[in-house]
Chains A and B, each alone.
Chain A
């Protein structure tokens, strides 16, 4: 038993922290809801025929004039809030997860290689990272988006919206991974097991991916979680600024931007329901990230 607990330290800690369990449940529920949105959502918010202006601005069911047909109310177009949110979360998560995945592959690859080879290659990667750092994430994302507007013809701009947004976010986040992977690789390079592998004449790729990578997964996993949260926030922010996704295929950020118009007029649910949903999602991801950080760096506990 003792051996088992030591081995699965993280699992044991997990069962001891109610906040983390709650966060995992919330994140998982939202993930499943978003993944199966087309089958779960009562209505299809992209299908103009499925909603009507007649149902517009209905409050949630527990308020006066609310109806059980729309448990969380409707927006000004008469779209069911639940359906909009599920579809919105779906888009937010698709963009967030793909951006994070691209950033991970790019950043970890470059960081590992920079740490392993050092010298000139390392210097070049780090100078690029320096430049990237001088232009914060949101600025990079806005800029790439702006360039896409200038370069792509108008019709393609619409169809490539999600791709451009994903790439913009991915390119603004890779530096985190590259720097972390590089720093951790440097630490491992001084460890004797790596020297043993190099000395024996093992292939650099084998040393990097079979020997070093498994030993630096901990900090990378933490960054992946934190950056997933960042990616989702970034997407929401861009959409909120009106630069991200348009109103006909709304992400959570777009929904909040639409809701802003009703801030002063009393239809609170159009703004606060998607907002709460977004915040709940990001908080749970961050709680999980913090938990992972504690597991991998027990000294901060």
Chain B
């Protein structure tokens, strides 16, 4: 078990290093950092001095090590565009994106899992056919169109909910949250649904497919032949066994949620990391792009490590060694 977790940890570190390398290469090779940092009035000699000071003439490997070391200490460099520390810019935007992502993911799980179970257990029912039809439309409509439609109906036509921004927020310990005000929640609803719909359809289809697979297994047939009550059969036996592959995909999806929040944030002008990333692409603000990349990969790796721990908790085959 320790070996299993340890191996995953090493793989995660490897992925993070690779992404850091990507970010570093971006910074180093896409445009010249010195011309970006200095204005036109800086002399060539001054530029050279700055280059030397920043260590840009050092061997490549040394530069990468320094870059990684700085990142580990929380020094993410400065934005080309705003001249602010990137760490500050990202951390002030992070709560907005994380809150949006978590609520969207919750929507997708709370609706997606029961719907998946239902459609798997009643594969020929009319409700199942309807749900499957709706989810097919769900995966086919681009996220931004869903956002536009929600804005159009609930914002413009009905005027019930705000269509942009975070509404009221409260700052606690440097974390700006929407969860503590009614306005904040009202502003969160439409973006979270927009972001959650696509994930929801994925979750539902996955749970359905896995559940149908498990329902055909020998141990379910044997449990049926022993007369185990249907409720226990479905939830204690079948759903539990479905969860192993499902949490894997949910782990993978979390990365997708954070990334797709770029689109949602753009539609709803939600002041999160995604919007910042879009702006930085438009202005070729390489340091911000690089750091965003590293942050996304970090979340992804973190969530997948948690998923691995959940595996161990769910599946005794990973926890307890074979004695025979």
Find out whether the CB atom of B156 lies under 8 angstroms from the CB atom of A241: no
Find out whether the CB atom of B300 lies under 8 angstroms from the CB atom of A134: yes
On whether A146 and B281 interact (CB within 8 A), knowing A138-B262, A287-B136, the answer reads yes
CA distance A127 to B258 in the complex (A): 22
Tell me the minimal C-beta distance from B255 to chain A in angstroms.
5
CA distance A279 to B258 in the complex (A): 24
Residues of chain A within 8 A of B184, CB atoms compared: none
Tell me the minimal C-beta distance from A237 to chain B in angstroms.
6
Asked if A275 is at the interface (CB within 8 A of a chain B CB), the reply is: yes
CA distance A242 to B289 in the complex (A): 17
Residues of chain B within 8 A of A260, CB atoms compared: 148
Least CB separation from B290: chain A residue: A143
CA distance A287 to B137 in the complex (A): 9
Find out whether the CB atom of B144 lies under 8 angstroms from the CB atom of A237: yes
On whether A127 and B14 interact (CB within 8 A), knowing A134-B297, A143-B293, A237-B263, the answer reads yes
Asked if A147 is at the interface (CB within 8 A of a chain B CB), the reply is: yes
Within 8 A of A (CB), among B246-272: 252, 255-256, 258-260, 262-263, 266
On whether A136 and B144 interact (CB within 8 A), knowing A263-B156, A264-B156, A286-B136, the answer reads no
CA distance A240 to B296 in the complex (A): 22
CA distance A145 to B284 in the complex (A): 10
Find out whether the CB atom of A282 lies under 8 angstroms from the CB atom of B136: no
B140 CB contact (under 8 Å) in A134, A237, A242, A282: A282
A150 CB contact (under 8 Å) in B18, B31, B255, B296: B31
CA distance A234 to B18 in the complex (A): 25
Asked if A142 is at the interface (CB within 8 A of a chain B CB), the reply is: yes
On whether A290 and B142 interact (CB within 8 A), knowing A135-B296, A146-B281, the answer reads no
Do most interface residues of chain A lie in helix, strand or loop, or is the interface mixed? helix
Tell me the minimal C-beta distance from B213 to chain A in angstroms.
8
Residues of chain A within 8 A of B281, CB atoms compared: 142, 145-146, 149, 243
Find out whether the CB atom of A299 lies under 8 angstroms from the CB atom of B260: no
Asked if A187 is at the interface (CB within 8 A of a chain B CB), the reply is: no
Asked if B89 is at the interface (CB within 8 A of a chain A CB), the reply is: no
Find out whether the CB atom of A286 lies under 8 angstroms from the CB atom of B293: no
Residues of chain A within 8 A of B139, CB atoms compared: 229, 286
Least CB separation from A290: chain B residue: B136
CA distance A241 to B277 in the complex (A): 12
Residues of chain A within 8 A of B141, CB atoms compared: 279, 282-283
Residues of chain B within 8 A of A241, CB atoms compared: 144, 262-263, 266, 278
Within 8 A of B (CB), among A216-234: 229, 233
Asked if B97 is at the interface (CB within 8 A of a chain A CB), the reply is: no
Asked if A1 is at the interface (CB within 8 A of a chain B CB), the reply is: no
Least CB separation from A240: chain B residue: B144
Q: How large is the interface on B (under 10, 10 to 19, 20 to 34, 35 or more residues)?
A: 35 or more
Least CB separation from A23: chain B residue: B136
Within 8 A of A (CB), among B6-33: 11, 14-15, 18-19, 26, 30-31
Find out whether the CB atom of B140 lies under 8 angstroms from the CB atom of A135: no
B19 CB contact (under 8 Å) in A134, A142, A233: A134
How many A-B pairs with Cβ below 8 Å? Answer: 125
Within 8 A of B (CB), among A123-144: 127, 130-131, 133-139, 142-143
Tell me the minimal C-beta distance from B133 to chain A in angstroms.
8
CA distance A123 to B47 in the complex (A): 44
Find out whether the CB atom of A131 lies under 8 angstroms from the CB atom of B259: no
Residues of chain A within 8 A of B282, CB atoms compared: 242-243
Interface string of A266-299 (1 = CB under 8 A from B): 0000010001001100110111001000000001
Least CB separation from B266: chain A residue: A241
Least CB separation from A301: chain B residue: B123
Asked if A54 is at the interface (CB within 8 A of a chain B CB), the reply is: no
CA distance A241 to B145 in the complex (A): 12
Tell me the minimal C-beta distance from B147 to chain A in angstroms.
10
Find out whether the CB atom of A147 lies under 8 angstroms from the CB atom of B30: yes
Residues of chain B within 8 A of A243, CB atoms compared: 278, 281-282
Asked if B242 is at the interface (CB within 8 A of a chain A CB), the reply is: no
CA distance A144 to B153 in the complex (A): 35
Residues of chain B within 8 A of A279, CB atoms compared: 137, 140-142, 145
Asked if A113 is at the interface (CB within 8 A of a chain B CB), the reply is: no
CA distance A253 to B142 in the complex (A): 10
Find out whether the CB atom of B252 lies under 8 angstroms from the CB atom of A133: yes
Residues of chain A within 8 A of B219, CB atoms compared: none
Find out whether the CB atom of A300 lies under 8 angstroms from the CB atom of B212: yes
Asked if A169 is at the interface (CB within 8 A of a chain B CB), the reply is: no
On whether A263 and B289 interact (CB within 8 A), knowing A131-B19, A134-B297, A299-B212, the answer reads no
Asked if B188 is at the interface (CB within 8 A of a chain A CB), the reply is: no
Asked if A236 is at the interface (CB within 8 A of a chain B CB), the reply is: yes
- 10 A-B residue pairs with CB within 8 Å: A127-B18, A131-B19, A142-B262, A236-B144, A256-B145, A260-B148, A263-B152, A279-B141, A282-B141, A299-B213
Counting from the closest, the 10 A-B pairs by CB-CB distance are A150-B30, A136-B259, A283-B140, A282-B140, A146-B281, A134-B300, A134-B297, A139-B259, A131-B18, A136-B256
Extra contacts, 10 of them, besides A127-B14, A142-B278, A300-B212 (Cβ < 8 A), are A134-B19, A135-B259, A136-B255, A136-B260, A137-B259, A138-B259, A138-B263, A241-B278, A264-B156, A279-B137
Binding site for A on B (CB under 8 A): 11, 14-15, 18-19, 26, 30-31, 123, 136-137, 139-145, 148, 151-152, 156, 209, 212-213, 216, 252, 255-256, 258-260, 262-263, 266, 277-278, 280-282, 284, 286, 289, 293, 296-297, 300-301
